[in-house]
């Protein structure tokens, strides 16, 4: 696999990203750091009862069942938060061509709006929604911060798809300088949210082990053992971004509510 640039890594699947993280270092002096994030016991820093990076990769591949059960429990607490199904009923539109002619409009000289046509609503709001979860926090933060950020992303995906949206879910990380940026698509618009997919989003070690390993492997310079400054990956227009405002269960719930309210408002504005 050809290495992607450190400042703009983009992967179409979790498996592609893990393969890239496990590639030979571009700078051989970073090989010890890669080994460290793969094999050294980091205690509880990776979360999910993972003490090494290999434990994290195993859970990504097998699916973190205990984590998914926690997300399911979180979803039950959000049952009152629902986005109404997208309205696909037909509505009449006017123009200078169509199915039915309004002769009164012709006599009145309104030729540009004399014809009517039954047109299906293309949804009240975007048909496709893109969510990006920033899976990066300060090294001193508890791993639970990253679990709840991922849980909010999974919950939003669940709510939006239940309402008829097609959701793309991306996890990413980057530093404030822009020297590091990596985006991983864990679910595309036409893909289901399966157990393994959800596990990769809610696993705190997804960045804390695999991400650091990816940075070390792709850095052409000697990577810093002190890590990177906490920033974000490169974002695209229109993406819903989950970051440091989500750090526990209550803030995860508040973020889900905020996004749902925002989409409801955009639907109302379009319908008006």
Look up the pTM and report it: 0.83
Question: DSSP letter string over 37-50?
Answer: HHHS--TTTT-TT-
Tens digit of each residue's pLDDT (9 = 90 or more) over 211-251:
999 999 999 999 999 889 999 999 999 999 999 999 999 99
Tens digit of each residue's pLDDT (9 = 90 or more) over 114-139:
555 655 544 444 589 999 999 999 99
Tens digit of each residue's pLDDT (9 = 90 or more) over 47-83:
999 999 999 999 998 889 999 999 999 999 998 888 8
What was the pLDDT predicted at 234?
97
Q: How far apart are CA 132 and CA 5, in angstroms?
A: 20
What stretches of 94-194 show up as alpha helix (H) in DSSP? 103-107, 144-162
Structural domain spans, the chain: 9-82+124-271, 90-120
Tens digit of each residue's pLDDT (9 = 90 or more) over 166-183:
999 999 999 999 999 999
What was the pLDDT predicted at 86?
63
Which of 228, 265, 259 shows the shortest CA–CA distance to 241? Answer: 259
Count CA atoms closer than 13 A to 141's CA, side-chain side: 19
Q: How far apart are CA 242 and CA 33, in angstroms?
A: 29
What was the pLDDT predicted at 80?
87
| Token pair recorded at residue 159 | 């709510």
């Amino acid at each position: 696999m050809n290495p992607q640039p450190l400042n703009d890594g983009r992967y179409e699947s979790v498996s592609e990203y893990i393969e890239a993280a496990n590639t030979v270092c571009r700078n051989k002096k970073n090989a010890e750091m890669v080994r460290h994030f793969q094999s050294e016991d980091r205690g509880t820093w990776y979360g999910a009862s993972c003490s090494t990076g290999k434990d994290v990769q195993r859970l990504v591949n097998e699916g973190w069942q205990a984590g998914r059960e926690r997300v399911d429990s979180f979803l039950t607490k959000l049952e009152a938060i629902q986005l109404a199904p997208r309205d696909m009923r037909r509505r009449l539109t006017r123009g200078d061509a169509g199915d039915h002619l309004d002769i009164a409009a012709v006599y009145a000289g309104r030729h540009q709006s004399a014809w009517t046509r039954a047109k299906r609503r293309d949804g009240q709001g975007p048909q496709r929604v893109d969510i990006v979860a920033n899976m990066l926090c300060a090294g001193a933060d508890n791993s639970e911060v990253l679990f709840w950020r991922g849980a909010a992303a999974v919950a939003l995906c669940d709510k939006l798809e239940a309402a008829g949206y097609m959701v793309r879910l991306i996890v990413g990380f980057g530093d404030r300088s822009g020297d590091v940026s990596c985006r991983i698509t864990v679910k595309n618009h036409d893909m289901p949210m399966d157990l393994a997919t959800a596990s990769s989003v809610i696993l705190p070690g997804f960045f804390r082990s695999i991400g650091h390993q990816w940075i070390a492997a792709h850095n052409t310079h000697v990577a810093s053992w002190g890590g990177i400054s906490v920033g974000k990956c490169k974002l695209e227009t229109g993406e819903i971004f989950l970051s440091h405002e989500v750090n526990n269960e209550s803030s995860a719930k508040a973020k889900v509510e905020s996004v749902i309210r925002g989409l409801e408002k955009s639907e109302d504005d379009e319908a008006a």
